[in-house]
Structure 1
Amino acid sequence: MPTPVSQRVQKRRDALRAAGLRPVQIWVPDTRRPGFAEECRRQSALAAASDLKDPEFDMLLEEAAASTEGWE
């Protein structure tokens, strides 16, 4: 026999499914893994160097950031 907690969880899941939603599983990097911070720094440096090579991309980002009026 299910516990009251599992019944509530199942009821909630059923309601979400009835609303047209479905569960998904998302895998994300393990931030506790050794080397994670170093890899973040490496990728950030690559992205920054890439941005310096393409000033038009920077202008595109500025324009996009300026056009968020009315967003909530």
Structure 2
Amino acid sequence: MEDLVPAPVSERVQKRRDALRAAGLRPVQIWVPDTRRPGFAQECRRQSLVVAAADAADRDLEAFMDAAFADMDHEDDA
């Protein structure tokens, strides 16, 4: 019986990438914040408070949101 040696990982990866490209896809690298980094939660809170303060100062925002939600409710009726 002949020993079957699997293809090296690099060949299998390249074959998979080639198949994905042939299907019309392309690789994209996305960098996201490191949630494990010290200070991450504090910075999220700081930014959230800034946004909340801006929202509270915008007198037209509540009316806009109410209108948007009302419009969404009417789409459900259709």
**TM-score normalised by L of structure 1:** 0.67
CA drift at 1:67? 3.1
Partner amino acid, structure 2, of 1:13: R
Q: Indicate whether 1:31 and 2:35 are aligned.
A: yes
Partner amino acid, structure 1, of 2:49: A
Q: CA RMSD in A?
A: 3.1
**TM-score normalised by L of structure 2:** 0.63
SS in 2 for 1:34: coil
List structure 1 segments (4+ residues) > 6 angstroms apart after TM superposition: none
**Mapped partners of 1:39, 1:15: distance in 2:** 41
The number of aligned residues is 69
CA drift at 1:21? 1.4
In the alignment, which residue of structure 1 is the partner of 2:72?
A: 67
CA drift at 1:60? 3.8
Matches within 5 A, 1:16-55: 16-55=20-59
Any gaps of 5 or more consecutive residues in structure 2?
Answer: 1-6
- Identity, in percent, stands at 60
Any gaps of 5 or more consecutive residues in structure 1?
Answer: none
**Mapped partners of 1:19, 1:56: distance in 2:** 47
Q: Indicate whether 1:3 and 2:15 are aligned.
A: no
Structure possessing the higher relative contact order (Cα contacts under 8 Å, 6 or more residues apart): 1
